[in-house]
Amino acid sequence: MIHWVRRNWWWIAAAFLAAYKLSLLQSQHIYAIGNAHHDDALFMKLAGHIARGEWLGPYDQFTLAKGPAYSVFIAANFWTGLPLGLSQQLVYLLACVMTVWALAPALTAGWARLLAFAFLFYNPLTYEGETMTRILRQHLTVPMAMMVAAGLVAICLRGDRKPSEQAVWACLAGLAGGIFMITREEGVWILPMAVACWVGWLVRGWLKRESNWARRWLAAVVFLVAGMVPYVTVASLNARHYGWFGVVDFKSAAFENLIGALTRIEVGPERHQVQVNREAREAAYLVSPAFAEIRPFLEEGPIALKWMEKEKHAYEERQYMAGWFNWALRDAIAAAGYVESPVTFLAYCSRVADEINMACDDGRLPAAGPRSSLMPKWQTTYTEGIKNGWWDYLDQAMRLTRFETIVPESVGSDDEIRDFVDLSWDSISPAPRATYFHKPNQIESNRVKIDALRGLADTWRAKFEDLFWVSAALLLLRPIELIVRRRWSWLTWLGVAVFAAVVAQLALNLLVHVVAFDNFYPAAWAPAYPLMQLVVILMLTDAARHWVIPGARRGWENWKTRRTREAPAD
C-alpha cells in the first residue's frame, strides 16, 4: 500500500484539486435564457424530445439547423439524474486526465504530471460565469477537442508501442472527433491539427524505414472509421424519422446553393455586414416565382420585425445583417409551408436557387459568378476590420478581459425556463419573471465560493498569458533550431500542430466578428484556450528536455571539474 501511494501520489493530489474546484463550481447555477429559441432553449427543447424517446421531435426550421450532439448529451445526463453543470465539468475532467495520460511518455515525473493536470483543469474559462454557465455547445466541443488532441499526442509519443495500444488511442480520438463535428457546424478549424499530426506520424515511419511501416496506417484508418460512427448514426436516425440522410440541413448543398444564389446578385450598394441587401431581394422576387412566395413574410410582419436590423442600419432601410438573414429566411420558408420535412424544405431551396441562378446566368440579373456558400461576398470593409481588429481580438482572448464569475439572472417566464429546470437536475439562477424557487439564502452563501473562484481567476489569468507568450516564442525558436541541426522532436511538431488549431479557431471567430455579428465574448474563445494550454505544456517540456536539463547537467559537470582542479593536493 505504501509503495502504491508513493508511486501514485500525484493521482491522489490531483483528485483533491479536482474535488476542491468542483465544490466551488456548485456555487455557479445555470444561466437559463428561455427566449433563446435558436440556441439555449433549442438545445433544451431537442433534449426533451430525445429524453422522451422521440428523437428530435416534429420537424420544423429549427430541428436540424444545428448539430444534435449536445442535446443528446443533455438527454443522456437527464437519465443519470446528475446535475448538468457537474456532468459537464466531469467530462472536462475526463479530457484533462486523458491529456495528462497521453503526455506520460514525456512527463515521467509525478510532480510534472500534477502540474500539467492542475494547469489544464483550472482553466479559467471553465468557471467563467457570464457566458459559460449558459446552455451552450462549448460544454461539449471543448472537452471533445481536447480528447482529439490527447489521442493524437498519445499516438505520436508512443511510436514504439504495440499497434493495439495505438489503435485504442486512435479509436478514442476518432470518436471524440466525430462527436465534435456533429456538435457545431464550424468544426473545420480542428482539421489542421489532425492533418499535421497524421502527416508527421506517417512520414516519420516512412523516413525511419520501419520494417512494419504499414502498421502506422492501422491507427490512421481506425481514427477515420471511428470518426465516421457518430455522423452515420445521427444521419441514419434522421433518415428513419425525417426521410433525409444527413445531420444538419443548414449545411446541406441545397441551402448553401440558395444562399449562394442570393449573394451573387449585384444590385444596390454594399452595406457593412449585410449579406443580401433589400435591392437584391426585390430583384430576386421578380425573377423567381418560388422566392416571391415568401416575400410577404420576409418583408413584412413579425418575421421582418424580429430580424431586420434596427441599430447599425435604420429599420426603414429594411436590411438584414449577415448573422440573422439565414434565420429570417428559414422562418419565412416555414411560414410559407415548406417545412413539412427536410425533403420538402430542401426541394424548395433548390427551386429558388435554380430560378435565381438561371436569371443571373442569362443576364436578367447583374451578378457575380456562381456561388454555393453561407459565407457572404467579401467586402473591403472586412479586410480593414481584420487588419484593425486582429491584435485586439487576440489580446482579449489571451487576457480574458471580459471575464466574470458572477452568473447573471435567468431570462424567461415559468413556461420558457421549464425545460431548463426539468431536464438539467440543476439549480437555475433567479429569473425575475418566473416563480421558480431559487433558494435565496443559499445563493447569498454561495458568494463565498464565487469570490474564491474570482480569486483563482485573478491569480492565474495573468500568469497563463505570460506562459502563452513564452510558448509562442518557443514555437518560433525550436523549429528553426531543429531545421538547422537536422533533428526531430515530436513535442515541437505536436506543439506546432495544436497551435495551428488554436490559430484556426481564433481566426474563424474573428471572421465571424467582422463579417456577421459581435463575437467578443469568452465562450467564443473557450475551445482554443485549453488547446493553447496544451501547447504551453508541450513546448515547455520540450525546452526543458533539450535545453534546460542538458544545460543544467553541463553546468553541474563543469562546476565539479573546477572544484576538482582547485582542490589542494594532499
Return the pLDDT at 102: 96
Calpha distance 208→48 (Å, rounded):
53
Mean pLDDT (whole number) for 448-476: 86
Q: Does residue 3 lie in a domain region?
A: no
Q: Examine the domain organization and report whether 51 and 195 are in the same domain.
A: yes
Which of 317-321, 517-521, 554-558 is the most confident on average?
317-321
Read off the C-alpha cell for 527: 475551445
Q: Does residue 387 lie in a domain region?
A: no
Q: Taking the chain, what is the end-to-end CA distance rounded to the nearest angstrom?
A: 50
Mean pLDDT (whole number) for 161-174: 91
pTM of the full predicted structure? 0.94
Q: Examine the domain organization and report whether 520 and 417 are in the same domain.
A: yes
Enclosing domain of residue 66 = 37-243+396-553
**Identity (one letter) of the amino acid at 201?**
W
Q: Examine the domain organization and report whether 163 and 114 are in the same domain.
A: yes
Q: Examine the domain organization and report whether 229 and 275 are in the same domain.
A: no
Return the pLDDT at 354: 97
Would residue 159 be called left, alpha or beta, if left means φ above 0 and alpha means ψ between -120 and 50 degrees?
A: alpha
Calpha distance 47→69 (Å, rounded):
10
Residue 201's pLDDT band (cuts 50, 70, 90) = confident
Q: Examine the domain organization and report whether 48 and 115 are in the same domain.
A: yes
Residues 6 or more apart in contact with residue 329 via CB below 8 angstroms: 258, 259, 294, 298
Q: What is the percent of the chain with per-residue pLDDT over 90, rounded to a whole number? A: 68
Q: Residue 274 pairs with which residues in a beta bridge? A: 321
Residue 314's pLDDT band (cuts 50, 70, 90) = confident
Task: Quote the Cα angle for 97-101-107, to 5°.
Answer: 120
Q: Examine the domain organization and report whether 414 and 533 are in the same domain.
A: yes
The cell 491522489 sits on which residue? 12
Instruction: Find, among 332, 392, 335, 380, the residue nearest to 520 by Cα.
Output: 392
Residues 6 or more apart in contact with residue 187 via CB below 8 angstroms: 141, 180, 181
The radius of gyration computed from the CA coordinates of the chain, to the nearest angstrom, equals: 27
Over residues 535-550, the pLDDT tens digits come to 999 999 999 998 888 8
Residue 461's pLDDT band (cuts 50, 70, 90) = confident
Q: Does residue 388 lie in a domain region?
A: no
Q: Does residue 235 lie in a domain region?
A: yes
Is pLDDT larger for residue 161 or for residue 515? 515
Quick check: 210 pLDDT over 70? Answer: no
Quick check: 489 pLDDT over 70? Answer: yes
Domains of the chain: total: 2
Q: Does residue 13 lie in a domain region?
A: no
Q: Examine the domain organization and report whether 402 and 538 are in the same domain.
A: yes
Q: Examine the domain organization and report whether 517 and 436 are in the same domain.
A: yes
Q: What is the torsional sign of CA 340, 342, 345, 347?
A: negative
Are 514 and 386 contacting, i.e. CB atoms less than 8 angstroms apart?
yes
Mean pLDDT (whole number) for 118-147: 95
Read off the C-alpha cell for 568: 589542494
Q: Residue 118 pairs with which residues in a beta bridge? A: none
Helix (H, G, I), strand (E, B) or coil at 425: coil
**What rounded mean pLDDT belongs to the chain?**
91
Quick check: 289 pLDDT over 80? Answer: yes
Is pLDDT larger for residue 502 or for residue 565? 502
Q: Does residue 77 lie in a domain region?
A: yes
Mean pLDDT (whole number) for 44-71: 96
Return the pLDDT at 561: 78
Are 308 and 319 contacting, i.e. CB atoms less than 8 angstroms apart?
yes
Residue 348's pLDDT band (cuts 50, 70, 90) = very high
Q: What share of the chain is helix, strand, coil (3-state, %, to 5)?
A: 70, 0, 30
Are 501 and 189 contacting, i.e. CB atoms less than 8 angstroms apart?
yes
Return the pLDDT at 215: 75
Is pLDDT larger for residue 160 or for residue 524? 524
Q: Examine the domain organization and report whether 239 and 270 are in the same domain.
A: no
Return the pLDDT at 568: 63
Q: Examine the domain organization and report whether 59 and 178 are in the same domain.
A: yes
Over residues 352-405, the pLDDT tens digits come to 999 999 999 999 999 999 999 999 899 988 999 999 988 888 888 888 877 888
Quick check: 211 pLDDT over 70? Answer: no
CA torsion 404→407→413→418, rounded to 10°? 120
In angstroms, how far apart are the furthest CA atoms of the chain? 108
Residue 436's pLDDT band (cuts 50, 70, 90) = low
Return the pLDDT at 236: 97
Q: Does residue 562 lie in a domain region?
A: no
Return the pLDDT at 522: 86
Calpha distance 493→273 (Å, rounded):
38
**Identity (one letter) of the amino acid at 509?**
N
Residue 569's pLDDT band (cuts 50, 70, 90) = low
Which of 23-32, 151-160, 331-340, 461-470 is the most confident on average?
331-340
Quick check: 216 pLDDT over 80? Answer: no
Q: Examine the domain organization and report whether 544 and 457 are in the same domain.
A: yes
Over residues 441-457, the pLDDT tens digits come to 666 777 788 888 888 88
Q: Examine the domain organization and report whether 366 and 453 are in the same domain.
A: no
Residue 212's pLDDT band (cuts 50, 70, 90) = low
Q: How far is CA 480 from the centre of its chain?
A: 31
Helix (H, G, I), strand (E, B) or coil at 428: strand
Return the pLDDT at 457: 84
Q: Does residue 229 lie in a domain region?
A: yes
Quick check: 519 pLDDT over 90? Answer: no
